[in-house]
């Protein structure tokens, strides 16, 4: 089974913004699944507004890459396929909906994040975008 998601990678000053849902033990990059008929952009803007109460600026949306990793908390063999974007935002970041906590993490925090986020942490560190 493949779970298809969209994610926002926001990394000011080398720290990554991650979120943790209620009842979950790992942090992940904010975003979510597309609803029927949604484009990547529409899904990402909707999900980020729902989860973190900010509006991503569509004119700043930049595709960063597509990644696959085992899906955390799912049956063995379930893959998470994620398309990742960067974008500037307007508003004040705060957890909403199912988000219990948001955090600014560095590579040192890698054990606290999902398998997909660990893969992205490695990639971002290799690019010099994520602080140790």
CB 64 within 8 A of CB 85: yes
Cβ within 8 Å of residue 70, ≥6 positions away: 78, 79, 80, 115, 116
| Mean predicted confidence (pLDDT) in 11-27 | 95
pLDDT in tens, 56-98: 999 999 999 999 988 877 888 899 999 999 999 999 999 998 9
CB 47 within 8 A of CB 21: no
DSSP state of 28: B
CATH of region 2-126: 3.90.79.10
Domain ranges of the chain: 2-126
């Amino acid at each position: 089974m493949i779970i298809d998601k969209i994610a926002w990678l926001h990394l000011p000053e080398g720290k990554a913004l991650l979120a943790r849902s209620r009842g979950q033990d790992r942090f992940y990059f904010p975003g979510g699944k597309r609803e029927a008929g949604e484009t990547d952009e529409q899904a990402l803007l909707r999900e980020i507004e729902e989860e973190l109460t900010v509006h991503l600026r569509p004119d700043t949306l930049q595709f960063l890459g597509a990644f696959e990793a085992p899906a955390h908390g799912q049956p063995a063999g379930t893959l998470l396929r994620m398309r990742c974007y960067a974008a500037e935002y307007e508003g004040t970041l705060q957890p909403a909906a199912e988000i219990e906590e948001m955090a600014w993490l560095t590579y040192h925090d890698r054990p606290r994040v999902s398998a997909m986020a660990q893969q992205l942490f490695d990639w971002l560190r290799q690019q010099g975008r994520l602080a140790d």
